[in-house]
């Protein structure tokens, strides 16, 4: 993983009997299509809200500062820009005319109500694992939110990617339909974690490399990759050479997911958004279940040997300059020996996230700084200031090289060119 609001429900009507009669009277006046919707109980809708949090639906279907689930959020991709859909119960522009069957079919098959193929930016490859019971609960919750009249925006994709028929080929290569099947050889807790990670959490969307066709191999699931258009690296969850979760305790992984900080590290970048919008709202039991599953993916895999592309003489100079930069700007928080002060200031010594083959994340942190999310378990997070305006490319390369190699760390040195390329990309 990366150095990876609850909406109030409407108060119940105290006049229960009158409420039931009124609901019946209104229902009899509705069109047949609307009357066919399942009646959502408070309990079902509340469970659906929880599951929608687990699926992080708000992150894509709500524009910052916009109406809840009204869609229209731009999603840049290597193929053009997609715009998310309105999933409020508005009859004309949202899902107000959908049935529970149609909603489940969409999650399960990746096809819209009219049978049209969805672009795989919608993670139906993961949502297909969601059970019918959970799908119905999510649908009931979405039917309970405030309807918003907001027509869906047309996608802006380059030719030939604007031809939806091409998705048929993509689906043949990369999509396997079917609900999650529990592994009888594993515990119930492990299976619950696998269901959340593989399904609603759609963690593989970031933690699996995406190829030129926008697809990923199931055989390479959770093996890490650069997140397209974001310039963040989502590390492998299957080996200790990257996320290193095999050596973490269940408690530390659970804190990392639920609070955004633990004694082993803190979340930044896209993972910080996931924790803020989604994971902090899960129960301790569910974050623990996810931790049990994630830890099992990485156990028994020793770190690989580092391979550097920087010449030995240059690497030596970088280490010398890097220590000077570190002592002047970093040691006051992370300590002279890189031990940090957990959980406020993450340790750098022995921290797998800065030793990975890809140095994108530590370079970004030095250039742009960042904050873990403010969560119930960490309401006043300690952040890192940006140094892009203070340090030159040589100094950025030096200090990143230093923290990747000092104190017994196994990372490799980076060049000033790598720092400059990322700095330029962030300015575009």
CB 106 within 8 A of CB 114: no
Token couple for 263? 């004694």
Residue 14 lies in a domain: no
* Residue 384: strand, helix, or coil: strand
Q: Where does a domain end: 130, 158, 174?
A: 174
CA contacts within 13 A on the Cβ side of 360:
19
- What is the model's pTM? 0.84
Residue 215 lies in a domain: no
**In sequence order, what are the residues at sequence separation of 6 or more whose Cβ sits closer than 8 angstroms to the Cβ of residue 317?**
398
Return per-residue pLDDT of the chain as tens, 428 residues: 334 333 333 333 333 333 333 333 333 333 333 333 444 468 999 999 999 999 999 999 999 999 999 999 999 999 999 999 999 999 999 999 999 999 999 999 999 999 999 999 999 999 999 999 999 999 999 999 999 999 999 999 999 898 998 999 999 999 999 999 999 999 999 999 999 999 999 999 999 988 888 888 777 888 888 988 888 999 999 877 687 888 899 999 999 999 999 999 899 999 999 999 999 999 999 999 999 999 999 876 555 555 555 656 666 788 899 999 999 999 999 999 999 998 889 999 999 889 988 999 999 999 999 889 999 999 999 989 999 999 999 999 999 999 999 999 989 999 999 999 999 887 76
- CATH number, residue 411: 1.10.760.10
Residues 417, 421, 426: CA angle, nearest 5 degrees? 150
Residue 238 lies in a domain: no
Domain range for 341: 312-427
In order of 40, 48, 177, 277, the CA distances from 52 in angstroms are 15, 6, 20, 10
Residue 420 lies in a domain: yes
CB 77 within 8 A of CB 214: yes
Number of domains in the chain: 2
């Amino acid at each position: 993983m990366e150095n990876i609001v609850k909406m109030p429900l409407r108060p119940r009507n105290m006049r229960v009997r009158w409420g039931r009669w009124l609901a019946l009277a209104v229902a009899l006046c509705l069109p047949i299509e609307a009357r066919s919707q399942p009646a959502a109980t408070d309990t079902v809708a509340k469970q659906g809200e929880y599951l929608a949090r687990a699926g992080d639906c708000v992150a894509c279907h709500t524009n910052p500062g916009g109406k809840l689930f009204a869609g229209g959020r731009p999603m840049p991709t290597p193929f053009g820009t997609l715009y998310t859909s309105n999933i409020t119960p508005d009859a004309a522009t949202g899902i107000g005319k959908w049935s529970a069957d149609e909603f489940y079919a969409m999650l399960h098959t990746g096809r819209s109500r009219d049978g049209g193929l969805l672009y795989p930016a919608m993670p139906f490859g993961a949502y297909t694992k969601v059970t019918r019971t959970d799908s119905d609960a999510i649908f009931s919750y979405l039917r309970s939110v405030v309807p918003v009249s907001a027509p869906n925006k047309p996608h802006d994709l380059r030719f030939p990617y604007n031809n939806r028929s091409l998705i048929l080929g993509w689906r043949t290569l990369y999509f396997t339909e079917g609900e999650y099947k529990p592994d009888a050889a594993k515990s119930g807790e492990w299976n619950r974690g696998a269901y959340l990670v593989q399904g609603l959490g759609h963690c593989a969307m970031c933690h699996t490399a995406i190829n030129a066709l926008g697809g990923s191999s199931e055989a390479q699931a959770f093996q890490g990759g650069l997140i397209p258009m974001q310039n963040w690296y989502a590390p492998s969850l299957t080996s200790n050479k990257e996320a290193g979760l095999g050596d973490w305790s269940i408690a530390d992984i659970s804190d990392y997911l639920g609070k955004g900080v633990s004694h082993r590290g803190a979340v930044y970048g896209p993972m910080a958004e996931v924790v803020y919008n989604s994971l902090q709202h899960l129960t301790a039991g569910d974050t623990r279940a996810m931790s049990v599953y994630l830890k099992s993916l990485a156990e028994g895999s020793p770190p690989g040997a580092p391979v550097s592309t920087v010449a030995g003489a240059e690497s030596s100079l970088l280490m010398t300059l890097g220590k000077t930069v570190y002592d002047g700007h970093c040691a006051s928080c992370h300590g002279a020996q890189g031990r940090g002060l957990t959980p406020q200031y993450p340790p750098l010594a022995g921290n797998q996230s800065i030793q990975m083959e890809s140095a994108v994340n530590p370079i970004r942190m030095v250039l742009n700084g960042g904050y873990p999310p403010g969560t119930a378990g960490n309401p006043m997070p300690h952040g890192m200031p940006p140094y892009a305006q203070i340090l030159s490319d040589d100094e950025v390369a030096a200090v990143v090289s230093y923290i990747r190699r000092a104190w017994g760390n196994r990372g490799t040195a980076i060049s000033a060119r790598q720092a400059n390329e990322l700095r330029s990309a962030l300015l575009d």
